[in-house]
Structure formats: structure tokens, C-alpha cells
């Protein structure tokens, strides 16, 4: 058995396909509907008045992807804790000027402005004794 060593070349099956871009001015997303996308071509529509960018392209599965990008203001988005604190502040502002009613543990209510801030409550386990002599 005679074996000869021969160098083999390994080929890369994934070839690089160049993508081209076509850029248009668009007034709305409906302007981009008229385009029939071709593979490896990205269609970009720029809407200057609305500060939007539309991107339409055919993906690897042959489906058409359409994305809209909008310019946001420099305002930072609020996290959940900030939203909760803002809501509490809003509730406090709504309660100012209204009579605050305090609920005690035994279920009685008292108006804090009527007693000028001094709230009295009866004990929960009070008993009544009668001293009738007769």
C-alpha cells in the first residue's frame, strides 16, 4: 500500500456577501411600502420633519423586516423607584388643603384639625362597670 501525502485546502463555506444601501427621503412609513426589497440591499428612508428613520430589508429567511427609529429628547427615562416617588409626591400635593382623617387601630376616626393635632382614642379592651347600690 502506497500512500502519498497530498496537502488539502480547507475552504470556508461562509462567503462574505456585500450589502448595499439605498437611501431615500420619505414623508411617512407608507412611502417605503412601494419598495420591493432585494436580497443584500438595505433601504433607508429618512423623514426629516418627524425626525424618523425607516429601514427595510430582506432577512436571511426571505422575510421583509421593517424598523422605525425615532429621535428621542435628551430627557432621561425614569426608573421604577423614581416613578413611585413622583406618584407619592403627587398624592401628597393632592392631600394638602383637605382635612386629613386618621384611622386608629380600633376602627374609630378622628379629624386631626378638629382636635388641633391631639388625637385621642379609646382603649381596645375597655370594660364598663356599674356601681348601682340599691
Range of the domain at 34: 20-70
Report the pLDDT value the prediction gives residue 35, as an integer from 0 to 100. 87
Q: Is residue 106 part of a domain?
A: no
Q: Is residue 79 part of a domain?
A: no
Nearest Cα to 22, choosing from 50, 48, 51, 57?
A: 57
Q: How many domains does the chain have?
A: 1
Condensed to tens digits (0 to 9), the pLDDT of residues 24-46 reads 899 998 988 888 899 889 999 99
Report the pLDDT value the prediction gives residue 4, as an integer from 0 to 100. 62
Q: Is residue 125 part of a domain?
A: no
| Residue 37 CA: distances (Å) to CA of 56, 65, 84 | 7, 10, 46
| Range among 15-29, 40-54, 94-108 rated most confident | 40-54
Report the pLDDT value the prediction gives residue 25, as an integer from 0 to 100. 92
Amino acid at each position: 500500500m502506497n500512500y502519498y501525502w497530498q496537502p488539502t485546502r480547507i475552504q470556508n463555506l461562509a462567503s462574505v456577501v456585500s450589502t448595499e444601501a439605498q437611501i431615500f427621503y420619505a414623508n411617512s412609513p407608507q412611502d417605503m411600502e412601494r419598495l420591493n426589497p432585494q436580497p443584500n440591499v438595505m433601504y433607508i428612508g429618512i423623514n426629516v420633519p418627524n425626525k424618523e428613520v425607516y429601514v427595510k430589508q430582506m432577512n436571511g429567511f426571505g422575510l421583509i423586516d421593517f424598523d422605525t427609529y425615532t429621535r428621542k429628547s435628551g430627557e432621561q427615562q425614569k426608573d421604577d423607584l423614581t416613578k413611585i416617588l413622583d406618584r407619592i409626591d403627587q398624592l401628597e400635593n393632592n392631600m394638602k388643603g383637605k382635612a386629613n382623617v386618621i384611622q386608629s387601630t380600633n376602627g374609630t376616626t378622628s379629624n386631626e384639625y378638629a382636635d388641633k393635632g391631639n388625637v385621642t382614642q379609646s382603649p381596645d379592651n375597655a370594660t364598663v362597670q356599674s356601681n348601682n347600690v340599691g
